[in-house]
Amino acid sequence: MPESRRTPFTQTNTAVLLIDHQVNLFTGVRDIDVNELKHNVVGLARAAQALDLPIVAVTTARDSMWGPTIPELRDALGGQEILDRSTVNAWDDERFVALVEQTGRDHLVIAGLSFEVCASLPAISARDNGFQSVIALDACGTFSHHKREAGLARLTTLGIEVSDYATTMVEIMGDNADPRAAAVYAALDMPFATLMGQVAGALV
């Protein structure tokens, strides 16, 4: 069995996996407002970039079924290549696993659409292969509240961590004295991040 003890997510041990944030899949999202979901996954990507975390982005059947990555996320990723695959579980694609392993990181922040398939199945497989994962729930979406609840129950049973994108990125940042802190909070684009900017400005 894999080691179950949680160790911290840091700037040197963590990579971010963005799985199947595709145009046609977004049309079926029912558990979170679509605009909020776009905001959150873009914020996750930008905060990861601010912290110099490796990002592995992937789609499934983009030319035949689910369409391209949403434009907002493509723009945030710049010219980064986005791997396309056919497997339901991204971890079943050897090219995807190779990209994850090439990051040299063994802690993974995972977001995907749908949550209970595209994020959860790779998290389960990664855990079974010695990685420690946390799913950024509010950067995921699915097709009903029942599916969301069932997915959460499964992950709870399996002991896989679930959090939100902003908390996860702030934990990884680790210290508000970090010279990248302002960029991280700006990338998160949350009300508390705006407050932090105001406080920092007042202290100057």
How far apart CA 86 and CA 58 sit, in angstroms, is 11
User: Do the domain assignments include residue 167?
Assistant: yes
User: Do the domain assignments include residue 183?
Assistant: no
CB-CB contact of 24 with 65 (8 Å): yes
Q: What is the pLDDT of residues 137-196, one digit of tens each?
A: 999 999 999 999 999 999 999 999 999 999 999 999 999 999 999 999 999 987 665 555
Query: What is the reported pTM?
Result: 0.92
User: Do the domain assignments include residue 162?
Assistant: yes
The dihedral region occupied by 106, where left means phi > 0, alpha psi between -120 and 50, and beta the remainder, is: alpha
User: Do the domain assignments include residue 33?
Assistant: yes
Which pLDDT belongs to residue 191?
64
Which sequence positions are flagged as catalytic?
118
- Domain of 66 in residue numbering reads as 14-174
Q: What is the pLDDT of residues 76-97, one digit of tens each?
A: 999 899 999 999 999 999 999 9
Please indicate whether residue 17 or residue 1 has the higher confidence score (pLDDT).
17
DSSP characters over 155-198: HHHHT-EEE-HHHHHHHHH--TTSTTHHHHHHHHT-HHHHHHHH
User: Do the domain assignments include residue 107?
Assistant: yes
**Total length of the chain:** 204
5 — pLDDT class (breaks 50, 70, 90): confident
How far apart CA 29 and CA 118 sit, in angstroms, is 13
- Looking up residue 161, the CATH number of its domain turns out to be 3.40.50.850
User: Do the domain assignments include residue 200?
Assistant: no
How far apart CA 35 and CA 53 sit, in angstroms, is 25
Q: What is the pLDDT of residues 96-147, one digit of tens each?
A: 999 999 999 999 999 999 999 999 999 999 999 999 999 999 999 999 999 9
User: Do the domain assignments include residue 91?
Assistant: yes
Which pLDDT belongs to residue 190?
72
99 CB neighbour count, 10 Å cutoff = 19
Which pLDDT belongs to residue 1?
36
Rounded to a whole number of angstroms, the CA Rg of the chain reads: 16
Q: What is the pLDDT of residues 31-82, one digit of tens each?
A: 999 999 999 999 999 999 999 999 999 999 999 999 999 999 999 999 899 9
pLDDT at 25 > cutoff 70: yes
User: Do the domain assignments include residue 70?
Assistant: yes
* Residues facing residue 15 across a β-bridge: 108
* Residues facing residue 16 across a β-bridge: 55, 109
| Total structural domains within the chain | 1
